[in-house]
């Protein structure tokens, strides 16, 4: 109700939440390879990262293997139903254990020499062990990465030895994520989309200023352009957009309001997560993973449905939503993003300028700068205190 009230005030007065001033970012932040390497190491490899949804690992033995920022990551749900993160690398001769993908395994076996590991990453068997020689199995378990589940999301560090507390990292934003009840959705479809560079990509997820022009054939049909209600939780953010029907609330007594019919929420988890409820019982989860260079990313786009579609009409509705989000992101957002990227070396600009009406983008870049000023072995609470 409060979000709808705030959005309606902006709609009525043709205003939006604003930052205190405009903000300039030098173009080196988007294209300098040395800076990019430092930021990826600090922001993506030393902070808790949203690596998967809990429902991608539905039962004991479920696994998800992926390569993120050059790190071979293996997630496995154990017999105790706890998810563990490990490097997807055999401790014998370094072979990759599981090809990237998902499934269920009774045991994890190396394809090279058949060393076997349990769901907790412990070494439990070696082919020809009697002839290999004596070793202490407990010293040759898989290399563990710190991992915690919160709010239906698996958070992990990509650096061995780094430890974090998910509740501290998320702060009050964790309660906001819990309201989404992500554990109880149905995974309808998932795909990986190549995109432009990390910051070009993320900038587009954090403002509604472009919606009426870029998305006029998709989400722009339903969303009020240049209207944003922003709540920040340190580096994490909740963005509220107005739907085109928002003005109808002005004609209704508040006790009759159905606020979620007139606003759209985006939950943005720093540095790579965006969760968007767009239409009806459908939800889009986007995880942005930087590539090998400042100009490449992969976005894992996951389509969730409140319940598994059963009827032809339900299946068609989910397919329409999936196609809409694919077009909005791959064709419209990333189309503009690739265009921006192609002009970075043109010398037309020395910096980008973010308006006061783009406060979420400004907040994102300020937190990148803030984390870069910290030592590599510390990170900050969402209230700004060092850990």
Q: How does pLDDT run across 240-275, given as a tens digit for each residue? A: 999 999 999 999 999 999 999 999 999 999 999 999
Segments of the chain assigned to CATH 2.102.10.10: 49-163
pLDDT for residue 384: 47
Distance (Å, rounded) from C-alpha 122 to C-alpha 176? 36
Q: What is the 3-state secondary structure (H, E, C) of 237-288?
A: EEEEEEEHHHHHHHHCCHHHCCHHHCEEEEEEECCCEEEEECCCCEEEEEEE
Contact 380, 370 (CB under 8 A): yes
Tell me what the pLDDT averaged over the chain comes to.
Answer: 94
Two tokens, residue 202:
């993320």
Nearest to 71 by CA among 34, 100, 28, 36: 100
SS (H, E, C) 35-55: HHHHHHHHHHCCCCEEEEEHH
Residue 297 has pLDDT above 50, yes or no: yes
CATH architecture of the domain formed by 2-47+183-372:
Alpha-Beta Complex (3.90)
How much is the pLDDT for 329? Answer: 96
- Of 193, 201, 203, 268, whose CA–CA distance to 232 is shortest? 268
For 270-365, where are the E strands, in sequence order? 273-277, 282-290, 297-305, 351-354
Q: Which CATH architecture has domain 49-163?
A: 3-layer Sandwich (2.102)
User: Exposure string (b/e) for 184-201, b if CB count within 10 Å is 16 or more?
Assistant: ebeebbeeebebbbbbbb
Region 183-193: mean pLDDT is: 96
CA 332 to chain centre: 19
Residue of 129, 173, 134 lying closest to 151 (CA atoms): 173
10 backbone φψ class: left, alpha, beta (φ>0; ψ -120 to 50)? alpha
User: For the segment 130-160, what is each residue's pLDDT rounded down to a tens digit?
Assistant: 899 999 999 999 999 999 999 999 999 999 9
CB-CB contact of 193 with 329 (8 Å): yes
Q: What are the start and end residues of each CATH 3.90.380.10 domain in the chain?
A: 2-47+183-372
- Express each pLDDT in 18-30 by its tens digit: 999 999 999 999 9
Task: Burial-class residue 385 by CB neighbours within 10 Å (0-12, 13-18, 19+).
Answer: exposed
The whole-angstrom separation of Cα 283 and Cα 44 is 25
């Amino acid at each position: 109700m409060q979000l709808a009230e705030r959005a309606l005030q902006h709609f009525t007065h043709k205003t939006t939440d604003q930052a205190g001033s405009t903000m300039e970012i030098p173009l080196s932040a988007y294209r300098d390879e040395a800076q990019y390497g430092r930021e990826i190491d600090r922001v993506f490899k030393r902070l808790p990262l949203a690596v998967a949804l809990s429902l991608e690992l539905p039962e004991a033995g479920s696994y998800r293997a992926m390569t993120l920022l050059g790190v071979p990551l293996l997630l496995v749900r154990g017999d105790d139903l706890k998810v563990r993160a490990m490097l997807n690398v055999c401790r014998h001769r370094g072979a990759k254990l599981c090809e990237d993908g998902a499934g269920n395994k009774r045991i994890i076996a190396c394809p090279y020499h058949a060393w076997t590991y349990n769901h907790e990453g412990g070494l439990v068997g070696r082919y020809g062990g009697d002839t290999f020689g004596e070793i202490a199995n407990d010293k040759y378990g898989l290399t563990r990465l710190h991992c915690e589940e919160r709010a239906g999301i698996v958070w992990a560090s990509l650096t061995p030895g780094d430890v974090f507390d998910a509740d501290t990292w998320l702060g009050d934003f964790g309660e906001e994520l819990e309201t989404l009840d992500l554990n109880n959705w149905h995974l309808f479809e998932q795909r990986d989309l190549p995109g432009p560079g990390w910051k070009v990509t993320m900038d587009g997820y954090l403002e509604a200023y472009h919606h009426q022009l870029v998305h006029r054939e998709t989400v722009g049909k339903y969303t009020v352009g240049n209207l944003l209600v922003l709540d920040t939780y340190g580096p994490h953010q909740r963005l509220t957009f107005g739907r085109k029907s928002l003005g109808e609330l002005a004609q209704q007594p508040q006790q009759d309001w159905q606020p979620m019919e007139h606003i759209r929420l985006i939950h943005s988890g720093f540095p790579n997560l965006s969760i968007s409820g767009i239409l009806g019982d459908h939800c889009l989860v986007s995880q942005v993973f930087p590539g090998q260079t400042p100009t490449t990313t992969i976005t894992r786009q996951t389509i969730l449905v409140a319940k598994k579609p059963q009827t032809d009409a339900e299946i068609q509705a989910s397919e329409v939503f999936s196609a809409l989000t694919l077009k909005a992101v791959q064709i419209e957002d990333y189309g503009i993003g690739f265009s921006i990227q192609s002009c970075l070396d043109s010398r037309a600009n020395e910096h980008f300028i973010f308006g006061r009406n783009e406060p979420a983008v400004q907040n994102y870049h300020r937190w990148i700068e803030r984390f870069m000023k910290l030592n590599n072995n510390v990170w900050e609470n969402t209230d700004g205190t060092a850990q």
